[in-house]
C-alpha cells in the first residue's frame, strides 16, 4: 500500500505483471503449436516413407521412363517401405509382355515369395529373372522353383545368396531341365552341397546347350560331385565364364574339372576355382585352364 498515495504505482505494477503472464501464456501456446506442427510433419514423413502409393494421376498405360520416375522413391535411402511383392502381383495382372523381373537384397520372406511365384506363372515369355540375397524360407523357395518351370524362355537366371534346402534343390533341378535357352545361370551361395550340385549339373547337362555362364561358387561342393559337374561342363562348349570358387573340390575335384575343359571351349576366358583347398595339383590345374 502506498501511504497518502492514489494507488497509481500499484496499478502499474499489476499491469506489468499481467502483461508478463500474458506473454508467457502466448509463448507457451506458440511453442505447443509448433510442437504439434512438428509432430504432424514427422507423421507425414513417416507416412510418406512407409506407404508407397501410385494410385494418383490419370489412368493410362505407363511407359518405361514414366515407370522409372514413379518407382524412384523405392530406391531412396532411409525409406521404410514393406516388401511390395504382393502389390506387384496385384498391379501386374497381365504379364505376358514382361521380359525382366528382378528382386534383390530384400526381406522377401515366404508370403512375398508366393506372390512372386504367381507373377512368374503368368509370365511365360520372361527372359531374365533375378531373386537374389533374399530371406525366402523353404515354402517360398519351392514355390519359386516350381514356378520357374513355366518360364521356358528364360535366358538369364540369378538366384544367388539364398539358402536352398533339399526339397527346393529338387524343384529347381526339375525346373532347369525345361530351359533350353538358358545362357547365364547364377547359383552361388545356395547351400547346394554335393546332392544339390549333382542334381543341377545333371539337369543342365541335358538342357541349356548354349550356356555361356555357370556360377556355382560357395556351395560346399566336394570332389564327390566333380564327376557330374565335369560331365556337364564338358558338353557346354559355349562357356565364357565358369565360377566354382569357395567350394571343397580339393586336388581330386579340381583335376576332374580341368580335364573336362581340355577339349574345345574356345570361348572360355574366365575360370575361378580359388579357395578350393587345392594343394599339390595347383600348378597342373593352372597349366590346363586360364584362371
Nearest to 273 by CA among 262, 251, 264: 251
Q: Supply the pLDDT for residue 41.
A: 53
Distance CA 213, CA 158 (A): 11
At residue 203, the pLDDT reads 95
- What per-residue confidence (pLDDT) applies to 104? 77
**What are the backbone angles phi and psi of residue 129, rounded to the nearest 5°?**
-130, 130
- What mean pLDDT is predicted for residues 12-38? 65
Give the C-alpha separation, 137 to 145, whole Å: 12
Q: What are phi and psi of 29, to 5 degrees?
A: -65, -40
Confidence of residue 6 (pLDDT cuts 50, 70, 90): low
Does the pLDDT of residue 260 top 80, yes or no?
Answer: yes
Question: Are the C-beta atoms of residues 238 and 210 closer than 8 Å to each other?
Answer: yes
Q: Model confidence over 58-98: pLDDT tens digits?
A: 655 566 677 677 767 766 776 665 575 555 555 555 556 77
Q: pLDDT higher for 176 or 49?
A: 176
Confidence grade of residue 47 (pLDDT, cut at 50, 70, 90): very low
The answer to which of 106-110, 210-214, 276-280 has the lowest mean pLDDT is: 106-110
- Rounded to 10°, the helix 166-176/138-147 angle is 10
What is the pLDDT confidence band of residue 246, given thresholds at 50, 70 and 90?
very high
With b for 16 or more beta-carbon neighbours within 10 A and e for fewer, the 234-246 pattern comes to bebebbeebbbbb
Identify the pLDDT of residue 121.
Answer: 83
The CA dihedral of 139, 145, 146, 152, to the nearest 10 degrees, is 160
Mean pLDDT, range 36-43, rounded to an integer: 53
Per-residue pLDDT at 139: 84
- Contacts for 185 with CB less than 8 Å, ≥ 6 apart: 156, 157, 176, 204, 208, 211, 213, 214, 215
pLDDT (average), residues 159-163? 89
Residue recorded with cell 564338358: 234
pLDDT for 109 equals 63
| pLDDT (mean) for 163-170 | 82
With a threshold of 0.85, does the pTM exceed it?
no
Question: Tell me: the pLDDT tens digits for 123-146?
Answer: 778 899 998 888 777 888 888 889
pLDDT computed for residue 290 by the predictor: 47
> Can you give the C-alpha Rg of the chain in angstroms?
32
Choose between 157 and 16: higher pLDDT: 157
With beta carbons less than 8 A apart as the criterion, state whether 212 and 241 touch: yes
Amino acid at each position: 500500500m502506498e501511504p497518502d498515495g492514489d494507488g497509481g504505482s500499484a496499478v502499474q505494477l499489476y499491469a506489468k505483471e499481467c502483461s508478463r503472464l500474458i506473454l508467457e501464456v502466448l509463448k507457451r501456446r506458440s511453442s505447443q503449436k509448433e510442437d504439434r506442427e512438428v509432430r504432424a510433419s514427422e507423421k507425414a514423413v513417416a507416412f510418406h516413407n512407409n506407404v508407397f502409393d501410385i494410385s494418383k494421376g490419370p489412368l493410362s498405360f505407363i511407359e518405361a521412363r514414366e515407370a522409372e520416375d514413379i518407382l524412384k522413391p523405392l530406391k531412396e535411402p532411409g525409406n521404410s517401405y514393406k516388401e511390395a511383392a504382393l502389390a506387384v502381383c496385384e498391379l501386374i495382372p497381365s504379364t505376358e509382355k514382361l521380359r525382366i523381373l528382378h528382386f534383390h537384397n530384400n526381406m522377401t520372406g515366404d508370403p512375398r515369395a508366393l506372390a512372386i511365384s504367381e507373377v512368374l506363372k503368368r509370365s511365360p515369355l520372361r527372359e531374365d529373372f533375378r531373386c537374389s540375397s533374399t530371406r525366402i524360407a523353404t515354402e517360398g523357395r519351392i514355390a519359386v522353383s516350381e514356378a520357374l518351370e513355366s518360364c521356358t524362355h528364360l535366358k538369364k537366371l540369378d538366384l544367388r545368396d539364398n539358402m536352398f534346402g533339399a526339397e527346393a534343390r529338387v524343384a529347381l533341378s526339375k525346373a532347369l531341365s525345361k530351359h533350353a535357352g538358358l545362357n547365364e545361370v547364377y547359383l552361388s551361395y545356395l547351400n547346394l552341397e554335393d546332392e544339390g550340385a549333382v542334381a543341377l549339373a545333371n539337369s543342365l547337362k541335358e538342357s541349356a546347350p548354349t550356356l555361356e555362364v555357370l556360377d556355382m561358387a560357395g556351395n560346399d561342393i566336394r570332389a564327390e560331385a566333380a564327376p557330374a559337374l565335369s560331365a556337364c561342363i564338358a558338353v557346354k562348349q559355349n562357356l565364357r565364364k565358369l565360377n566354382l570358387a569357395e567350394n571343397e573340390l580339393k586336388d581330386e575335384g579340381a583335376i576332374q574339372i580341368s580335364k573336362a575343359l581340355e577339349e574345345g571351349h574356345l570361348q572360355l576366358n574366365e575360370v575361378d576355382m580359388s579357395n578350393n583347398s587345392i594343394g599339390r595339383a595347383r600348378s597342373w590345374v593352372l597349366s590346363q585352364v586360364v584362371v
